Structure 1
Amino acid sequence: MRQTFVSLTGPAGNIGDALIRRETLHWARGTGDALVAYTGDAPDAWLAQLGLPPDATVLRGKTSVPRWLRLLIAAPRHPVLVFEAGEIPLDRGNELRELVFLAETLIVRLKGGVVVRPPRGIRAPSSPALGIHRLAARLSQVTLWRDEGTLLTARCGRLAPDIGFGAGTRSGSPWSERSELLVSLRGARPLPDAAWVATVRAAAAEAGLTIRTVVQVREDEDRSRELARLLGGEFDAWGETDPLVHEERLRQRYDMAQLVISDRMHVLVLASLSGAIPVELVPDPTRKIAEAFAAIGVHEVSLDSSTSSPDRMRAALRPAAERAAEISERVRDAEVTLADLRGRIARAVHRVRS
């Protein structure tokens, strides 16, 4: 019995997190006869979003971590361990967690197995958590990072597109038939100021687009409702809609958009997969989105609204078919690269086990 272990934790109510964990699961499936998945404290709806196979062994809650480790130790030779994609917090307080991950890596390597770390990003690196993580990453056969800054911090591994770009490109509507400018901002950040609101309204009017606010993370729903009121646009609620149904509705909206404004990376990733132009227009944007898109050759995605003139912001929000076509080409290349990486990993596992 060849076993594959995969970590798939994540907060319910976040389409982007579900998306990248689902892609992680795709990388893990097919590498063994039996799948063991750790999903943390996620509810049943999360398991449905990921599409876990019914025969998988699912470990839930932090109390199941000892069992996860026991199963790793007891696994037959050549197990596969796939860490989840996403962002890794390495600020103070994460040392014990990183020691556990290091122990998991050592167990699998001592058993002649394969450790896979899909494209990830490092957040708030601190000592000693960063040092522990670097050691575990070096001991893994496959270590991928989704941005150049993280690669420089980690000092090992290689650059790869964010795994979300593997979720499937969509043809969407022809450019001339796309009629919407979509907005989805984090609810935890301050509401945009009057100048931002005026600029977005003016950009939509100039392009002849309807403004619509959407919700990709449940905690942002109130913010999207408020933005629709300020922008004079339509509001699409999430409400009680099933997460998978809501995800497909979102992607259909992105199919109809020329421009999508957000400070959430996987809102912009999904938008770009549908052929829309992604723009991060917020005060003091983090480097995360800009660097992840730069890794696939897409630049000038992010703009700091607190230091940019209205003219510069309007220029960034001026949709152009040529820009959309350029981004779509880069996104398709990223999708091909991820598929190639997945194939290489499957072949490497086969060689180890043959």
Structure 2
Amino acid sequence: MLFGLGIASSRPLPTRTFVSLTGPEGNIGDALIRRETLRWALGTSDELVVYTGASPGSWLRQLGVPEDATALRSKRSVPKWLWMLATAPARPVLVFEAGEVPLHKGNALRELVFLMETILVRLKRGVVVRPPRGIRAPTHPSLWLHARAARLSQIALWRDGTSAALVSGTDVVPDIGFAVLTSAPGVSGERNELIVSMRGARPMPSAAWVRAVRATADAEGLRIRTVVQVREDEARARELAQALGGEFDPWGSTDPVTQEAKLRERYLHARLVISDRMHVLVLAAIDGAVPAELAPNPTEKIANAFATVRIHDITLDALQADAGRMQEFLQAQLDRSAFIAEQIGAARQRLAEVEQQMRATIQAARR
């Protein structure tokens, strides 16, 4: 059995669900996984309470938060969130946000609060849901507190085996972003572009990297385009377009909802997408492009998350390869496009099963 069930009871509704959905509106990947987290929370109770922290009002629209939800939109609202949790009717549901969990030094107090929230919900015979998450920069005591809270949660999911092992977790499932549907089902237009989207905070790729990408595009007859999925990467996208002789799609003053739609349209026309951002590659793969991480000193984040969906060897360290080796790597990704599409479909199905089991757990706790 994937999840433990809560304590059965015949007590009727009303019920209340709490869901955390913080994040910057300038990061479409964060919006993607927060939106899916919200979708998991919808329909689980009579009342929905959403905490978005310091995010602007446009973030609510970006995620599709229902108008009848109670939205707590500033860090000053934390006491109200805790009060509503403490005074909630029996059997509340608490849904933490999916994504990366930083456990570096200084996060111990926050993790202690999350542990107390978890204990409170369990004492009220409710259900705690932790959607697929990955751990970053684990340190003590933050890691110890996080592990205790995860063990007390009926549903605690991990998007990679490394994160699960850190807290002795057992339920490794695909990143929640893989649950997203393609933006144009049944549409099979011409894929004639090679798209690049790289982090602006990391070093500019080398001249050999540029040669490899250009050579791949030339060999496959693809146009090169750079796009922006995170606002802070816009300057880097402009630099790469110039270096690669490609077209540059700015974000500029476009609102995030429109920007996301534009990006998804681009991915529908791409054969290959190169990035060192995980959810650039997830979205690209969902929309039928071949994902590849070709970057200097890549972290294990992308490789681990894609390994969970049985897609291995998706990453190459550009500092450890010459232009010829990098081009071979990119060609190898293109050669397995059908396999990648098959695994993406299987990941989506797996997440649908997980969501069904989550909802069954909540229903069983309220009988």
Which 10-residue stretch deviates more, 57-66 or 282-291? 57-66
User: Shift of the alpha carbon at 1:173?
Assistant: 5.8
2:115/2:148 contact within 8 Å kept: yes
State the alpha-carbon separation in 1 of the partners of residues 267 and 209 from structure 2.
22
Contact kept? 1:261, 1:268, Cα under 8 Å = yes
Counterparts of 1:88-99 in structure 2, within 5 Å, are 88-99=101-112
List runs of 5+ in structure 2 lacking aligned partners: 1-13
Q: Residue 157 of structure 1: CA displacement?
A: 3.7
Distance of aligned partners of 1:144 and 1:202 in 2 relative to their CA distance in 1, 3 Å threshold: same
Paired AA for residue 165 in structure 1: F
What aligned pairs does 1:126-275 form with structure 2 within 5 A after superposition? 126-169=139-182, 170-171=184-185, 174=188, 177-275=190-288
Post-superposition shift, 1:353? 1.1
Q: Distance between the aligned counterparts of 2:80 and 2:296, measured in 1?
A: 45
User: How far is the alpha carbon of 1:309 from its aligned partner?
Assistant: 2.5
Matched residue of 1:77: which SS? Answer: coil
**Percent same amino acid among aligned pairs?**
59
Counterpart check, 1:292 vs 2:305: yes
Instruction: Give the match for residue 74 of structure 2.
Output: 61
Given that 1:40 and 1:61 are in contact with CA atoms closer than 8 Å, whether structure 2 keeps it comes out as yes
Residue aligning to 1:305: 318
Per the TM alignment, residue 322 of structure 1 is displaced from its structure 2 partner at its CA by: 4.9
Contact kept, 8 Å, 2:292 with 2:333, in 1: the verdict is no
Q: Deviations over 1:233-279 (max 9, x none)?
A: 00111111121111111111111101000000000000000111101
**Higher RCO, 1 or 2 (CA under 8 Å, sep at least 6)?**
2
Q: Secondary structure at the match of 1:306?
A: helix
CA deviation after TM superposition for structure 1 residue 325, in Å: 1.0
Match of 2:339 in 1: 326
- Give the counterpart letter for 1:220 in structure 2: D
Q: Check conservation: 1:172, 1:275, Cα contact below 8 A.
A: no
SS at match of 2:336: helix
Number of matched residues?
Answer: 353
Tell me if the contact between 2:208 and 2:322 (Cα under 8 Å) persists in the aligned partners. Answer: no
Cα distance in structure 2, aligned partners of 1:167 and 1:189: 28
CA contact (8 A) 2:20 2:95 kept: yes
Deviation at 1:348, TM superposition (A): 1.1
Quote the RMSD (CA, aligned, Å): 1.2
Gaps of 5+ in 1: none
1:75 paired residue number: 88
Task: Indicate the residue corresponding to 2:5 in structure 1.
Answer: none
Provide TM-score, normalisation by structure 1. 0.97
| 3-state SS, counterpart of residue 317 of structure 1 | helix
Aligned pair partner of 1:27 in 37, 40, 47 = 40
What is residue 132 of structure 2 aligned with on the other side? 119
Letter of the 1:100 partner, please give it: V
Deviating 4+ runs (over 6 angstroms):
none
SS in 1 for 2:178: helix
